[in-house]
Amino acid sequence: MKIYNTLTRTKEEFVPLTPGEVRMYVCGVTVYDLCHIGHARSAIAFDVIRRYLHYKGYRVTFVRNFTDVDDKIIRRAAEEGVGALQMSDRYIREFREDMAALGVLPAHVEPKATEHIAEMIALIERLVAGGFAYAVDGDVYFEIRRFPAYGRLSRKNLEELLAGARVEVDERKRDPRDFALWKAAKPGEPAWPSPWGAGRPGWHIECSAMSMHYLGESFDIHGGGEDLIFPHHECEIAQSEAGTGKPFVRYWIHNGFVNLGAEKMSKSLGNVLAIREVVKRHAPDALRLWMLGTHYRNPIEWSEERAQEAARALERFRPLIADADRLAPGVIGSRDAALDAPSDATALRSRFEAAMDDDFNTAEALAALFDLARVVHAYRNAVAHGDDSARAAFLGGASELFALLRVLGLFEVATTHPVLLPELRGHIEKLVAERDAARKSRDWTRADQLRTQLKELGVTVEDTPSGSVWTWRGV
RNA sequence: GGCGGCGUAGCCAAGUGGCCAAGGCGGAGGUCUGCAAAACCUCUAUUCAGCGGUUCGAAUCCGCUCGCCGCCUCCA
- Give the per-residue pLDDT at A284: 93
Which amino acid is residue A336, in one-letter code?
A: D
User: What are the domain boundaries of chain A?
Assistant: 2-276, 315-416, 422-472
Per-residue CB contacts under 7 A with strand B, chain A residues 319-338? 319
Lowest mean pLDDT among A160-169, A421-430, A437-446: A160-169
- Give the per-residue pLDDT at A473: 67
A324 and A377 Cβ atoms separated by less than 8 Å: no
Angle between helix axes A318-327 and A362-384 (nearest 10 degrees) is 40
SS (H, E, C) chain A: CEEEECCCCEEEECCCCECCEEEEEEEEEECCCCCEHHHHHHHHHHHHHHHHHHHCCCEEEEEEEEECCCHHHHHHHHHHCCCHHHHHHHHHHHHHHHHHHHCCCCCCECCEHHHCHHHHHHHHHHHHHCCCEEEECCEEEECHHHCCCCCCCCCCCHHHHHHCCCCCCCCCCCCCCCEEEEEECCCCCCCECCCCCCEEECHHHHHHHHHHHHHCCCEEEEEEEHHHHHHHHHHHHHHHHHHHCCCCEEEEEEECCEEECCEECCCCCCCCCEHHHHHHHCCHHHHHHHHHCCCCCCCEEECHHHHHHHHHHHCCCHHHHHHHHHHCCCCCCCCCCCCCCCHHHHHHHHHHHHHHHECCCHHHHHHHHHHHHHHHHHHHHHHHCCCHHHHHHHHHHHHHHHHHHHHCCCCCCCCCCCCCCHHHHHHHHHHHHHHHHHHHCCCHHHHHHHHHHHHHCCEEEEEECCEEEEEECCC
Q: What band does A376 get if pLDDT is binned at 50, 70 and 90?
A: very high
Give the phi and the psi of residue A261 in degrees, each rounded to 5: 65, -140
What is the greatest pairwise CA distance in chain A?
93
Lowest mean pLDDT among A83-97, A338-352, A370-384: A338-352
- Give the per-residue pLDDT at A347: 94
Per-residue CB contacts under 7 A with strand B, chain A residues 52-71? none
SS (H, E, C) A319-370: HHHHHHHHHCCCCCCCCCCCCCCCHHHHHHHHHHHHHHHECCCHHHHHHHHH
Per-residue CB contacts under 7 A with strand B, chain A residues 113-132? none
Q: Which residue is nearest to nucleotide B41 (CA to C1')?
A: A378
CA–C1' span, A204 to B73, in Å? 15
In this complex, the answer to whether residue A166 has its CB under 7 A from any atom of chain B, a nucleic strand, is yes
- Give yes or no for residue A176 having a pLDDT over 80: yes
* Residue A389 Cα distances to A89, A210, A385, angstroms: 57, 56, 11
DSSP lists the bridge partners of residue A221 as: A24, A251
Residues A396-402 have a mean pLDDT of: 93
Q: CA-CA distance, A383 to A465, in Å (whole number)?
A: 10
- Give yes or no for residue A474 having a pLDDT over 70: no
pLDDT tens digits along A216-236: 999 999 999 999 999 999 999
CATH among 3.90.550.10, 3.10.400.10, 3.40.50.620, 3.30.70.100 for A2-276 = 3.40.50.620
- Give the per-residue pLDDT at A414: 45
Q: CA-CA distance, A462 to A320, in Å (whole number)?
A: 13
In this complex, the answer to whether residue A397 has its CB under 7 A from any atom of chain B, a nucleic strand, is no
Which amino acid is residue A108, in one-letter code?
A: H
CA–C1' span, A252 to B62, in Å? 29
**Does the structure's ipTM exceed the value 0.90?**
yes
In this complex, the answer to whether residue A259 has its CB under 7 A from any atom of chain B, a nucleic strand, is yes
- Give the per-residue pLDDT at A470: 82
- Which of A80, A136, A104 lies closest to A29, judged by CA? A104
Q: What is the mean pLDDT of chain A?
A: 90
In this complex, the answer to whether residue A231 has its CB under 7 A from any atom of chain B, a nucleic strand, is yes
- Give yes or no for residue A60 having a pLDDT over 90: yes
Q: How many CA atoms lie within 13 A of A2 on its CB side?
A: 11
Sign of the dihedral defined by the CA atoms of residues A394, A400, A402, A405, in that order? negative
Sign of the dihedral defined by the CA atoms of residues A293, A295, A298, A299, in that order? positive
CATH among 1.20.120.640, 3.40.190.10, 3.30.930.10, 1.20.20.10 for A315-416 = 1.20.120.640
DSSP lists the bridge partners of residue A308 as: none
A419 and A351 Cβ atoms separated by less than 8 Å: no
Residues A241-266 have a mean pLDDT of: 90
CA–C1' span, A11 to B56, in Å? 30
- Give the per-residue pLDDT at A321: 84
Which amino acid is residue A282, in one-letter code?
A: H
- Which of A366, A459, A464, A360 lies closest to A418, judged by CA? A459
CA–C1' span, A48 to B57, in Å? 38
- Give the per-residue pLDDT at A452: 86
Contacts 24+ apart (CB under 8 A), A426-429: A427/A457, A428/A454, A428/A457, A428/A459, A428/A470, A428/A472
Q: CA-CA distance, A163 to A151, in Å (whole number)?
A: 14
- Residue A386: count other Cβ atoms within 10 Å of its Cβ: 9
Residues A386-401 have a mean pLDDT of: 91
- Give the per-residue pLDDT at A416: 43
